[in-house]
Structure 1
Amino acid sequence: MSAPHMTAPHTAWGILGLGVHVPERRVSNADIAEQYGVEPAWIERMTGITHRHYADPAEATSDLALAAAADALADAGLAAGDIDVVLLATSTPDQLAVATACRVQHRLGAHRAWATDIGGACAGFLNALKLARDVLTASYPQGRALVIGAETFSKFQNPRDRSTGVLFADGAGAVVVGPAGEGEGLLCSVQGSDGALADIVGIRAGGSARPADARSLAEGGHYLHMNGKAVAAYFHDVFPRIVQDLTRTCGLPLDRIDLVVPHQANPRMLRTLGTELGISPEQLVITADTYGNTGAASIPMALHTARADGRLAPRTTVLHAAVGAGMSWAGVVQRWL
Structure 2
Amino acid sequence: MFRNARIVSTGSYAPENIVPNSYFDKTLNTNVSDWLEEVVQIKERRWVSENQTTSDLCYEAAINCLKNGNISASDVDLIIIATDTPDFISPSTAAIVQDKLKATNAGTFDINSACAGFVTALDIGAKYIRADKQYNNVLVIGGYAMSRHLNKSDKKTVTLFADGAGAVLLQSVDSEDAGFLASELKSMGQYNGYMGVYAGGTAQPVDVNAIENHDHKLKFVNRFPKEINPTTWSEMALTLNERLGVQSDDVDMYFITQLNINSIWEMLDILDVPKEKAHTIMHHYGYTGSACIPMAFHDAWEKKLVKPGDLIYFIGSGGGLAFASAAFRL
CA apart distance, 1:240: 1.7
* Residue of structure 2 in register with 1:252 after alignment: 246
2:9 to 17, 23, 28: 17
CA deviation map 1:181-204 (0-9, x unaligned): 221111111111111111111101
- Does the Cα contact within 8 Å between 2:162 and 2:285 map onto a contact in 1? yes
* Residue of structure 2 in register with 1:328 after alignment: 322
CA apart distance, 1:289: 1.3
1:297 aligns with 2:324: no
CA apart distance, 1:45: 2.6
* Residue of structure 1 in register with 2:87 after alignment: 94
> How high is the sequence identity, in percent, across the aligned residues?
30
| Secondary structure at 1:116 match in 2 | strand
- Higher deviation after alignment, 277-286 or 145-154: 277-286
- Does the Cα contact within 8 Å between 1:163 and 1:228 map onto a contact in 2? no
- Does the Cα contact within 8 Å between 2:78 and 2:135 map onto a contact in 1? no
2:40 to 39, 47, 53: 47
Query: Separation in 2 of the partners of 1:232 and 1:148?
Result: 29
CA deviation map 1:43-90 (0-9, x unaligned): 223321111111111000000000100111111110011011000000
1:275 aligns with 2:258: no
| Secondary structure at 1:229 match in 2 | coil
2:96 to 103, 106, 112: 103
Q: Report the residue type matching 2:310 in the other structure.
A: T
Q: Report the residue type matching 1:260 in the other structure.
A: Y
- Does the Cα contact within 8 Å between 2:142 and 2:291 map onto a contact in 1? yes
CA apart distance, 1:167: 1.2
CA deviation map 1:156-177 (0-9, x unaligned): 1111222211111000011110
RMSD: 1.6
Shift of the 213–56 alpha-carbon distance from structure 1 to 2, 3 Å rule, reads same
Query: Separation in 1 of the partners of 2:116 and 2:135?
Result: 27
CA apart distance, 1:134: 1.5
- Under a length normalisation based on structure 1, what TM-score does the superposition of the two structures give? 0.93
- Does the Cα contact within 8 Å between 2:144 and 2:291 map onto a contact in 1? yes
- Under a length normalisation based on structure 2, what TM-score does the superposition of the two structures give? 0.95
- Does the Cα contact within 8 Å between 1:25 and 1:53 map onto a contact in 2? yes
- Does the Cα contact within 8 Å between 1:190 and 1:330 map onto a contact in 2? yes
| Secondary structure at 2:307 match in 1 | coil
Shift of the 231–160 alpha-carbon distance from structure 1 to 2, 3 Å rule, reads farther
1:157 aligns with 2:177: no
**1:9-88 residue pairs with structure 2 within 5 A?**
11-39=3-31, 40-88=33-81
Identify unmatched segments of 5+ residues in structure 2. Answer: none
**1:308-323 residue pairs with structure 2 within 5 A?**
308-323=302-317
Identify unmatched segments of 5+ residues in structure 1. Answer: 1-7
CA apart distance, 1:233: 3.7
- Does the Cα contact within 8 Å between 1:18 and 1:72 map onto a contact in 2? yes
* Residue of structure 1 in register with 2:211 after alignment: 217
* Residue of structure 1 in register with 2:130 after alignment: 137
CA apart distance, 1:226: 2.1
CA deviation map 1:109-159 (0-9, x unaligned): 111211000111111001111111112222335611000001001111111
Query: Separation in 2 of the partners of 1:76 and 1:281?
Result: 30
| Secondary structure at 1:122 match in 2 | coil
| Secondary structure at 1:120 match in 2 | coil
Query: Separation in 2 of the partners of 1:80 and 1:304?
Result: 19
Query: Separation in 1 of the partners of 2:316 and 2:207?
Result: 33
Shift of the 200–237 alpha-carbon distance from structure 1 to 2, 3 Å rule, reads farther
CA apart distance, 1:231: 5.8
- Does the Cα contact within 8 Å between 1:48 and 1:268 map onto a contact in 2? no
- Higher deviation after alignment, 211-220 or 268-277: 268-277
Query: Separation in 2 of the partners of 1:25 and 1:268?
Result: 27
Q: Report the residue type matching 1:11 in the other structure.
A: R
List, as ranges, runs of 4+ consecutive aligned residues in structure 1 with deviation greater than 6 Å: none
CA deviation map 1:224-272 (0-9, x unaligned): 1124731644213312211111111222210100111112121233223
Query: Separation in 1 of the partners of 2:140 and 2:225?
Result: 26
Q: Report the residue type matching 2:30 in the other structure.
A: V
